[in-house]
Amino acid sequence: MKNTHLFLLSLVLAALGLGIFFYKAFVLNLALTPDHESQVWLVEAKLGFKADGRPVKAEMYIPQSSDSFLVMDENFVSRGYGLTTKRQDENRKAVWSIRSEEGWQTLYYRAVIRKNQTARNGKKVKKPAVFEFLLPEVEQEAVGGIIEKIKEMSADEESFIHNAFELLKLPRSDKNVLLLAGSRPTNERRVEVLLKILKKAGFAARSVQGIDLGDFVGHADIKHRIEVYSKEKKKWISYNIDTGSSRVPSGFLPWWFGEQGLTEVKGGENVIVNIGIERSQENLVKSALKNNQEASSLFLDFSLLHLPLDIQAVYRVLLLIPLGALLVVILRNVVGVKTFGTFMPVLIALAFRETELLWGIFLFTLLLSGGLMVRFYLEHLKLLLVPRLAAIVTVVVIMMVFFSIMTQKLGLDRGLSVALFPMIVLAMTIERMSIVWDELGPGDAMKQGIGTMLVASAIFLLIFHELFEHLLFVFPELLFVILAFTLLLGRYTGYRVVELYRFREFVNK
């Protein structure tokens, strides 16, 4: 009867936890593993110009989410200006306007950009329409000549594009190219010529301008690339205009398409645009959450990720404690390892996070044995309990201070981390250990001491792991599953592993 109740409760809890977990993981597409590749940038475009008292209308292209990047958290700073964003062909544009303004104006566009990790690679794009267009007769002929020449050298689309880029590298080698581009063409000019050739040859081609998030040092340059639609792959392929290589730098963020400039300001002069990039310190998981833009789910609105960052840091650790406690339960009730107190090992494992494992064990053992020695000396003095404990705490602090100063003098800066051991944990462990020593003898005290260390190390190694930290932080509903397991273990009435050894005589007979 009781057990049915418990099983049902555990089942409901586990189903609830796993249900939310699977929903978030596979419907909302939250990342299951911490991703070190995941990067977030803060991009800021600063548009400055001098207004001359007439109505001002400033237009600027703004980036949009693509297969490789997501644009999130956009905001515009523009005091007094009316602001609209609009789509124009393939681009997005911000339009600021004001009745009249004078003096130096600064308008800001800020956005958080992050890598798009959920993008399905190889998303097919429909072939864009290719429009016939007219060129001045001279150019028409020159372009026709170039196309003929390239066609002769090329076998397929790919080699045609490749050869077109090659030809533009050395404009002097061909009189038609020289005519179109001049002897020393600028980037813009080269793009213009290339697009003319490609379009006339029947390709769908466009120019794309953007920035490289890879060089995230302050000021970013606008980089120009050409995109050609590949019928074979059914998507746009981007080419470097200098090399003709179709390898896109991983940090290239397309900002707008077309050959026109980034901004257009009416009613102002001396226009300056500055694009700054900053690697964002923003929590990586937060970006995982935003990855799926449409998912404005209740689960995401009520999530730990909206807490301030320092509180998030606390929860990252706090959420691991139930899992550590579950491991203690397993090791104590199923295996039968003896430890000081129930959750002392979890606390010690927390301390190990600061000191690292081996060093932590060494320091802990050192302080523990020192504390015990003092305790047995004080035993001699027949002190009453509370003053004795207070004396032990004092001596442990003195030992810690001494140890830190000594190691510092010796040039071992690791010794300083001794101060990271929570005093309380140490004093409590010493007290527990001496009680066990008194009541059950030194053998048991040692056994429990070693057991505590083992369990603490196990928790440190198995539980305080990046993966679990990520999982529990992004999917705190997993706590329900942990709770379900803990409840079930609460009714585990089987033998402990150590009992199999303890009662071995029964088996041998």
Partner 1 sequence: MMMGTVRKLREKGILGINARNAAYILPYNNRRFYPLVDDKLKTKELALQAGVAVPELYATVEIQRQVRDLKDTLEPYSEFVIKPAKGSGGEGIILIASKRNGRFRKTNGLLLEIDDLKHHISMIIGGVFSLGGHPDKAIIEYKISHDPVFEDVTYMGVPDIRIITFLGVPVMSMIRLPSRMSDGKANLHQGAVGAGICIATGTTCSAVWHENFITEHPDTGAELLGLEIPYWNELLKIAASSYDMTGLGYQGVDLVLDKSRGPLLLELNARPGLSIQIANNAGLSGRLKLVEQQEGVRKWSVEEKISFAREQFR
Q: Which residues are at the interface with partner 1 (CB under 8 A)?
A: 333, 336, 382, 384-386, 389, 435, 438-441, 444, 491-497, 499-500, 502-507, 509
Residue 309 or 498 having the CB closest to partner 1: 498
Distance, CA of 205 to CA of 207 (rounded, Å): 7
Residue 296 or 493 having the CB closest to partner 1: 493
Output the CA–CA distances (angstroms, integers) from residue 204 to 111, 136, 226, in the order listed.
30, 20, 11
Residue 313 or 435 having the CB closest to partner 1: 435
Shortest CB 342 distance to partner 1, Å: 14
Residue 99 or 380 having the CB closest to partner 1: 380
Q: Report the interhelical angle of 442-458 vs 320-329 (nearest 10°).
A: 140
Shortest CB 350 distance to partner 1, Å: 24
Taking alpha carbons only, the member of 483, 120, 52, 91 closest to residue 291 is 120
Shortest CB 344 distance to partner 1, Å: 15
Distance, CA of 487 to CA of 469 (rounded, Å): 22
In the 8-state DSSP scheme, what is residue 456? H
Residue pair 70/111 in contact (Cβ under 8 Å)? The answer is no
Shortest CB 379 distance to partner 1, Å: 9
Which H helix or E strand runs over 59? strand 56-62
Shortest CB 493 distance to partner 1, Å: 4
Shortest CB 479 distance to partner 1, Å: 24
Which H, E and C letters describe 84-110, residue by residue? EEEEECCEEEEEEEECCCEEEEEEEEE
Taking alpha carbons only, the member of 198, 292, 179, 183 closest to residue 244 is 198
Residue 380 or 409 having the CB closest to partner 1: 380
Distance, CA of 31 to CA of 507 (rounded, Å): 50
Shortest CB 435 distance to partner 1, Å: 8
Residue 317 or 497 having the CB closest to partner 1: 497
Shortest CB 509 distance to partner 1, Å: 8
Shortest CB 391 distance to partner 1, Å: 14
Q: Which phi-psi region, left, alpha or beta, contains residue 336 (left: φ > 0; alpha: ψ -120 to 50)?
A: left
Taking alpha carbons only, the member of 338, 296, 311 closest to residue 432 is 338
Residue 208 or 433 having the CB closest to partner 1: 433
Please list, in sequence order, all residues whose beta carbon lies within 8 angstroms of the beta carbon of residue 208, skipping any fewer than 6 positions away: 224, 225, 226, 227, 238, 254, 256, 257
Distance, CA of 427 to CA of 449 (rounded, Å): 14
Residue 358 or 497 having the CB closest to partner 1: 497
Residue 8 or 440 having the CB closest to partner 1: 440
Which H helix or E strand runs over 178? helix 175-181
166: three-class secondary structure by DSSP: helix
Shortest CB 289 distance to partner 1, Å: 41
Residue 233 or 504 having the CB closest to partner 1: 504
